[in-house]
Structure 1
């Protein structure tokens, strides 16, 4: 089990696999007013930066699940680096359908709502692991402005304009699911630039180290295209944020 190879290559140097900077991640942790010892579940935990830094800074304990062998390995190494291996566990596996054996105070899925077939299904899945009065964290894109054409939406990585909502409509959708939005932290331009542009140097260095790899042609094509695509589409049209929800 693993994610497509291109993601393991382009994001191999990333600690955070979304447009949050370390500062934004710390802001989110502080905003949630986490108590020491609170249990947390993170579906699609990537390289484990959220669980590891929050374990260090706030004393949380938790479990992360991710399909990438590379990212799961990096998460375990990060836990060792920060001295929190007794507080967090990382599992390499499919998070779809995963329910914690013990109820958690925070259940998160940041930027991987495909795990539950979309936002609604992911919230329903996370709720199965959540204790009463617990918090769900959903990381999700939204339109900064509606793309003028479907081709522009596809340039942002969406299948269609209808894949994402404007921020007010996204917040209203949580209300329609009978959840209160109790906090939100939004990515900024710097976060987007760090998330996307860091991939380009990673790809270039991978190409220099693997010139004869059968996959080099695909990586070269992506490196050539990505700066222009990002500047023309994602940077102009797409926002991203983490939304904290509590059931009514």
Structure 2
């Protein structure tokens, strides 16, 4: 049970595995007015930057669950580095279907709604761990503008133009599911660049050091195609944000 190795190669220098910068992650924490002792569950927690920095800055406690052995190891090391290993715990496991033993104050899935089969399923999954009146965080892509055709949608890594909604429709979707949207912090093109473009250097450095690896041809192919694909399609059409929800 793990992520494909190519994924961890791409994001080997990343502490945040989505198009948020540290400033945006910090802005989200401030916007939520987190009280000391807030109990957080973070599903698909990656390298643990959200839990670790919020434990340091806001004195939350929490558990992160992630399928990647590499990222879980990095998360535990980050907790030790920031002196918060007594406040946050990281579990290597499949976040799909994971429910906390006791209700939490904040349940999050920031950028991995595939664990619930989409937004609606992920909201249902998070609700199973959330105390009444608790706060839910969902990170999700959206179309910055309606995509003109299926080619563009697929070039933005969507299987279909209907896979994502434009921003007002996504916000309305949360309402349809019975939740008020009470905060949001959105990625911008610069933070997308920092997420995507940093992968290209990671890939190139890895390829230079591992030219005979079984993955070398795949990595070389990505380096040939990804910068053009991203700048031609994804940068203009795909947005991403984290939305804070409270059930009605």
TM-score normalised by length of structure 1:
0.99
Residue in structure 2 matched with residue 31 of structure 1 by the alignment: 31
Cα displacement (A) at 1:90? 0.4
Say which SS state the counterpart of residue 147 (structure 2) adopts: coil
Say which SS state the counterpart of residue 50 (structure 2) adopts: helix
Rounded to whole Å, the distance in 1 between the matches of 2:180 and 2:227 is 38
Residue in structure 2 matched with residue 55 of structure 1 by the alignment: 55
Gaps in structure 1 of 5+ consecutive residues: none
Rounded to whole Å, the distance in 2 between the matches of 1:242 and 1:15 is 17
Residue in structure 1 matched with residue 19 of structure 2 by the alignment: 19
Rounded to whole Å, the distance in 1 between the matches of 2:163 and 2:126 is 21
Aligned runs of 1:50-89 on 2, under 5 Å? 50-89=50-89
Rounded to whole Å, the distance in 2 between the matches of 1:231 and 1:4 is 25
Residue in structure 2 matched with residue 96 of structure 1 by the alignment: 96
Cα displacement (A) at 1:175? 0.7
TM-score normalised by length of structure 2:
0.99
Structure 1 residues 126-166: Cα deviation after superposition (integer angstroms, max 9, x where no partner): 00100111001000000011111101100001000000000
Cα displacement (A) at 1:54? 0.1
Rounded to whole Å, the distance in 2 between the matches of 1:2 and 1:193 is 26
Rounded to whole Å, the distance in 1 between the matches of 2:13 and 2:66 is 16
Cα displacement (A) at 1:87? 0.3
Say which SS state the counterpart of residue 41 (structure 2) adopts: strand
Rounded to whole Å, the distance in 2 between the matches of 1:211 and 1:167 is 42
Instruction: Tell me if 1:227 matches 2:227.
Output: yes
Cα displacement (A) at 1:176? 0.6
Rounded to whole Å, the distance in 1 between the matches of 2:87 and 2:118 is 30
Cα displacement (A) at 1:6? 1.3
Residue in structure 2 matched with residue 160 of structure 1 by the alignment: 160
Residue in structure 2 matched with residue 244 of structure 1 by the alignment: 244
Rounded to whole Å, the distance in 1 between the matches of 2:92 and 2:150 is 35
Rounded to whole Å, the distance in 2 between the matches of 1:93 and 1:224 is 34
Cα displacement (A) at 1:188? 0.8
Structure 1 residues 3-46: Cα deviation after superposition (integer angstroms, max 9, x where no partner): 11211110111000000000000000000010000100000000
Residue in structure 2 matched with residue 200 of structure 1 by the alignment: 200
Rounded to whole Å, the distance in 2 between the matches of 1:6 and 1:160 is 24
Rounded to whole Å, the distance in 1 between the matches of 2:63 and 2:151 is 39
